[in-house]
Amino acid sequence: MATRARAGAKAGMTLGVRHSPNRSNGEVPFIGLDVGYGYTKIVFEDGQRIIYPSLVAPVAVTSIDLGLSLSKSAVQVEGADYVVGEEAVQAGWRFREQYDGWWTSPTFKALVAFAARHVPEGAHVFTGLPLHVYASAAAQTQVAEVVRKGLRTNQVTVFPQGVGAFFAAIAAHPGSEEGRNAFVDIGMRTTEFVGMSNRQFLSDLSCGKVLGVTELFARVAESLTHQHERTIDPYEVDLAIQGLRPIKVQGDNLAQKVIDETIEPLLKPFAERILSEMSRLWGPGAPSFDRVIFCGGGALILKPYLSGFRGRVEFLRDSQYANACGYLHFGRWVYQRTITSNAVHHSQSEQDRQGESIQDEDMLRVGGTL
Ligand SMILES: Nc1ncnc2c1ncn2[C@@H]1O[C@H](COP(=O)(O)OP(=O)(O)OP(=O)(O)O)[C@@H](O)[C@H]1O
Ligand SMILES: [Mg+2]
């Protein structure tokens, strides 16, 4: 216990704020929150998961109110109304900003406000930032502040995104943290490349790139728009490919085959760009790493073309939730919560061993608790 308490304090000290964790009665709910550029993912300790597209459309004050304000997707942020998630795909206009620093935008705040419907007040929220902006202390403080305010909590811990995958891997495969692991988290807008040696984050062998699968959906949407003379949104393509909602043209569903045939030739060249980033960072085949592990929703669609990187690569189960699950797992681990679902039950000795390792290797420096 003492080790964990010290470890928690060290995490706080990373950002100069001492945090006093309240785990003795286990009453503070822990939440893993991954606000991705494409999808927002929330995971709970009982294994429940929530996902929605990271889409936000303002409800114009001048528009004729056809009940939008009563929509179950509507939220209010700083006095303005927004619709969030799938409903925003259909909105006449929506925010399309995808830039570093978007966590101070109305879009990000509306996504967090939407999450607040599901997250109990006062929860400890474990969340993340893309690797290429994580180094900025200002970014960490800003995102923590927005989450704290939006979710009405005082406890927010911010991680670099790809590191969430590391904790998810440990949860899924106890012991897998041993040795050298390379993680590739392929998202909608960004791809994170994370090198870990045991529990140590290798900053020289990690980087984040603005390189995500939204590029593919945008190209397919453009091509279908030309063919069908109706503006087709990249998200419509995305949802159709996942089999969640067909694209409608003149009231009829566009054949899945047409969408599949349009995206298929784009997949391999795109995957090759990711593989070449990996080779540049870690050398061809990443010879100094014991494991190469792909995750993120983008890994699902690119899977057939990623395996050629070397003899054996791995794909995390629940790939799209890897970060959110990993953040949550980290929280349970540090604060000695019993892990009850979709992960592992550590014996006490195993927990102690892990606690000592964290203490020894100073792993917690990658996570700042505000
Ligand atoms: N079953 C599936 N098959 C194919 N693709 C899928 C599946 N599930 C999710 N995806 C894809 O995952 C992508 C989103 O991945 P993810 O949620 O990891 O991105 P993100 O975290 O929002 O983006 P970023 O990391 O850039 O902020 C979507 O493009 C979606 O199509
Ligand atoms: Mg992501």
Atom 19 in ligand 1: which residue has the minimum CA distance? Answer: 187
CA–CA separation, 202 vs 283, rounded Å? Answer: 15
296 lines ligand 1 (CB under 6 A): yes
Q: Which range, of 51-60, 214-223, 352-361, averages the lowest pLDDT? A: 352-361
- Looking at residue 279, what is its pLDDT? 98
Q: Please give the structure tokens belonging to residue 130.
A: 């893309």
Domain ranges for the chain:
30-215+264-369
Q: Which ligand is nearest to the CA of 267?
A: 1
CB atoms within 10 A of CB 144: 23
CA neighbor of 363 nearest in space, from 93, 14, 5: 14
Q: Please give the structure tokens belonging to residue 68.
A: 């939008």
Instruction: List 58's β-bridge partners, or say none.
Output: 82
For the CA of 54, the closest atom of ligand 1 is 22
3-class DSSP assignment, residue 209 = strand
| pLDDT for 48 beyond 50 | yes
Q: Please give the structure tokens belonging to residue 341.
A: 């679902």
Q: Please give the structure tokens belonging to residue 67.
A: 């009940």
Q: What is the DSSP letter of 144?
A: H
Q: In what order do the strands lie in the sheet with 80-84?
A: 56-58, 80-84, 74-77
Alpha helices by DSSP H, the chain: 2-14, 87-90, 106-115, 131-134, 137-150, 161-172, 214-228, 234-241, 256-282, 297-306, 322-334, 348-361
For the CA of 192, the closest atom of ligand 1 is 25
Atom 11 in ligand 1: which residue has the minimum CA distance? Answer: 297
Whole-prediction pTM value? Answer: 0.83
- Looking at residue 87, what is its pLDDT? 85
For the CA of 40, the closest atom of ligand 1 is 22
Pocket test of ligand 1: the residue of 56, 133, 301 to mutate, having most ligand atoms within 8 Å of its CB, is 301
CA of 214 to the centre of ligand 1 (A): 9
Instruction: List 76's β-bridge partners, or say none.
Output: 81
CA–CA separation, 74 vs 97, rounded Å? Answer: 19
164 lines ligand 1 (CB under 6 A): no
CB atoms within 10 A of CB 72: 9
189 lines ligand 1 (CB under 6 A): yes
Note whether 322 and 314 are within 8 A (CB). no
pLDDT digits (tens, 9 = 90+) for 236-292: 999 999 988 999 999 999 999 999 999 999 999 999 999 999 999 999 999 999 999
Average pLDDT over residues 42-59: 93
Residue 187: which residues within 8 A CB-CB, separation 6 or more? 36, 37, 38, 161, 212, 213, 296, 297, 298
Fold (CATH) for 30-215+264-369: Nucleotidyltransferase; domain 5 (3.30.420)
CA of 102 to the centre of ligand 1 (A): 19
Give me the phi and psi of 12, to 5 degrees please.
-65, -40
pLDDT digits (tens, 9 = 90+) for 124-176: 999 998 887 888 888 899 999 999 999 999 899 998 887 889 999 988 888 88
CA neighbor of 129 nearest in space, from 153, 156, 149, 155: 156
19 band by pLDDT with thresholds 50, 70 and 90: very low
Residue 17: which residues within 8 A CB-CB, separation 6 or more? 368, 369, 370
State the chain's mean pLDDT as an integer: 81
**Rounded percentage of the chain residues whose pLDDT exceeds 70:** 80
- Looking at residue 14, what is its pLDDT? 25
- Looking at residue 137, what is its pLDDT? 86
